């Protein structure tokens, strides 16, 4: 894939800035957009902080970091995406929000622009109904933290062309990821398997079966998991986990996917995990 291409990323939160950072490290130019200059600036600050850690740990040089930041354009105006070869949507996991963004983007971007959504569970075919020329639209699902996690799920919708799937795979490879092509279904592969595990761990905690620490220790030492399910839920985001479980429950029609009530309570309190400093665990500033 041509590294001179410009990639647009919509959403400067945890996933969006991680995708932007990975694209910059891979040699692409990036336009990173969000709804306000303040949110976009926070995204850039988080991205810069991550690159600074890379410099401190000797993974990249300061010169290369400066070069990367020189290829980054933050902003709020979606019209900046008109010349991008690839646009990746990474806004909040809400079908109405995503549909609105995708409708506008597909009208602004060129007819050959690859448009991808980073949805973690929503129907690609339904989202595609809001996209002009839906054959160039595909699910491109990265995992958190994006600079570290190697997997990308590629999810074609019912109208996605084979050439779009090939371009999405090439993009993932160019960004140093391993792509897997997944048939469209609620939660795809990873979240269909992983989120019910975290949800069940939340039930265990809510029922007082064991402490958060002991639940996580049990799965790390008893199942050889590198991180416990509740610590992972905090990393993913309690709001994200709840949204995925609600999709799985609604789409699959099976109460085994019913979201744990504690997740709803935590979201209502703003206890979303690492990003807010409080989830199943407390995190310092």
Identify whether 120 is a catalytic site residue. yes
CB atoms within 10 A of CB 138: 27
Q: How far apart are CA 156 and CA 284, in angstroms?
A: 40
Identify whether 191 is a catalytic site residue. yes
With 0-12 CB in 10 A as exposed, 13-18 as middle and 19+ as buried, what is 218? middle
55: left (phi over 0), alpha (psi -120 to 50) or beta: alpha
Which H or E element spans position 119?
Answer: none
In the chain, DSSP assigns E strands to: 6-10, 29-33, 72-75, 86-89, 114-117, 137-141, 151-156, 178-181
Identify whether 144 is a catalytic site residue. no
Residues whose CB is less than 8 angstroms from the CB of residue 144 and which lie 6 or more positions away in sequence, other chains included: 14, 15, 18, 235, 236, 237
Contact 24, 60 (CB under 8 A): no
Identify whether 141 is a catalytic site residue. yes
Pick the catalytic residue from 141, 199, 249, 271.
141
Pick the catalytic residue from 26, 106, 118, 120.
120
Beta bridge partners of 74: 32
Pick the catalytic residue from 89, 123, 153, 271.
153
Pick the catalytic residue from 21, 191, 199, 249.
191
Residues assigned a catalytic role: 120, 141, 153, 191
């Amino acid at each position: 894939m041509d590294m001179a291409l410009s990639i647009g990323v919509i959403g400067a939160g945890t996933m969006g800035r991680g995708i932007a950072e990975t694209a910059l490290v891979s040699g692409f130019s990036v336009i990173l957009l969000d709804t306000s200059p303040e949110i976009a600036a926070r995204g850039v600050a988080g991205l810069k902080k991550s690159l600074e850690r890379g410099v401190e740990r000797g993974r990249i040089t300061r010169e290369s970091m400066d070069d990367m930041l020189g290829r980054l354009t933050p902003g709020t105006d979606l019209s900046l995406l008109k010349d991008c070869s690839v646009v990746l949507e990474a806004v909040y996991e809400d079908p109405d929000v995503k549909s609105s963004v995708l409708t506008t983007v597909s009208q602004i971007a060129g007819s050959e622009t690859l448009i991808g959504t980073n949805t973690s569970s929503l129907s690609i075919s339904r989202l595609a109904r809001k996209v002009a020329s839906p054959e160039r639209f595909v699910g491109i699902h990265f995992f958190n933290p994006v600079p570290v996690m190697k997997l990308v799920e590629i999810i074609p919708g019912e109208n996605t062309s084979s050439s779009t799937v090939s371009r999405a795979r090439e993009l993932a490879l160019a960004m140093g990821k391993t792509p897997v092509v997944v048939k469209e279904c609620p939660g795809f592969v990873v979240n269909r398997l992983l989120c019910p595990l975290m949800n069940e761990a939340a039930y265990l905690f809510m029922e007082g079966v064991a402490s958060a620490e002991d639940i996580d220790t049990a799965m790390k030492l008893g199942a050889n998991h590198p991180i416990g399910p509740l610590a992972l839920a905090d990393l993913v985001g309690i709001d994200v986990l709840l949204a995925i479980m609600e999709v799985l429950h609604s789409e699959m029609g099976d109460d085994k996917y019913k979201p744990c009530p504690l997740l709803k309570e935590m979201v209502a309190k703003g206890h979303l995990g690492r990003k807010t400093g409080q989830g199943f665990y407390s995190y310092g500033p």
